Chain A
Amino acid sequence: ETGVTQTPRHLVMGMTNKKSLKCEQHLGHNAMYWYKQSAKKPLELMFVYNFKEQTENNSVPSRFSPECPNSSHLFLHLHTLQPEDSALYLCASSQQSIGVLSGANVLTFGAGSRLTVL
């Protein structure tokens, strides 16, 4: 399998549930990202991992907890979410997160996980 794969594609959860989103890339990239896409808003960067180390937490509430066990896998653990957290969560990867003008920071995205919080 190639590219960036996200599971599940759709998730419905209650506010008291605990669930996780999974992302896997087979591109040999060293950086992985979580983005949030809400209706009528820009894609919002949530977290960046570079060589398994978190290098960016864009003021994301603690009810979102990322985990990067290796350069190929990224998780987003969800706990006590709010209805306003309903959105499309996109995972992406790139060769490295500190880019150079060779385009090393070009992102490859997964298809996203559509989350609905009831």
Chain B
Amino acid sequence: DQQVKQNSPSLSVQEGRISILNCDYTNSMFDYFLWYKKYPAEGPTFLISISSIKDKNEDGRFTVFLNKSAKHLSLHIVPSQPGDSAVYFCAASAVNRDDKIIFGKGTRLHILP
């Protein structure tokens, strides 16, 4: 049973528009959430994170929103740029409980010219 779900395998967005990637989780013990970005032939790289004590974290063009009651988080990229085309992984962990970071399947984002 997947604890971290990314239900959209792929997403296409026009350059300059907003990209919204969604993630749902089932484990209420998760208290730290991360987004990773992966280009082909490279390992995933850390993008942005949020702890459960917040509902929003912003870093430049990237904003992560957390809705604990819905067990849902989303990553907003605005404006979207061609270099944002990649696979985005949502991840979650129960900090201070164990050392497992659980990943979703990923969403492939295509930025269209």
Interface residues, chain A, CB within 8 Å of chain B? 4, 6, 31, 35, 40-43, 45, 48, 50, 55-56, 58, 90, 92, 97-101, 103, 105-112
Say which residue of A4, A99, A106, A109 sits within 8 Å of B99 (CB atoms). Answer: A99
| B21 contacts chain A at the CB level, 8 A cutoff | no
Say which residue of B31, B51, B101 sits within 8 Å of A107 (CB atoms). Answer: B101
Say which residue of A42, A55, A111 sits within 8 Å of B102 (CB atoms). Answer: A42
Distance (Å) between the CB of B36 and the closest chain A CB?
Answer: 8
**6 contacting pairs across A/B (C-beta < 8 A):** A4-B43, A42-B102, A45-B102, A98-B98, A105-B101, A106-B46
A50-B42 in contact (CB<8A): no
Question: Residue of B at shortest CB range from A88?
Answer: B43
| B95 contacts chain A at the CB level, 8 A cutoff | yes
Interface residues on B, range: 20 to 34
B105-A41 in contact (CB<8A): yes
Interface residues, chain B, CB within 8 Å of chain A? 2, 4, 9, 31-32, 34, 36, 41-46, 49, 51, 53, 89, 91, 93, 95-96, 98-106
Known: A45-B101, A108-B45. 5 other contacts (CB 8 A): A42-B2, A42-B103, A101-B32, A109-B45, A111-B42
A-B CB contacts (within 8 Å), total count? 73
A42-B104 in contact (CB<8A): yes
Q: Which residues of B sit under 8 angstroms from A107, Cβ to Cβ?
A: 36, 44, 46, 101
Determine the distance from Cα of A58 to Cα of B44 in the docked complex, in whole angstroms: 21
Given A90-B43, A106-B34, A107-B46, A100 and B103 touching (CB < 8 A)? no
Max chain A Cβ within 10 angstroms of own Cβ: one of B9, B91, B101: B101
Given A56-B100, A106-B49, A112 and B43 touching (CB < 8 A)? yes
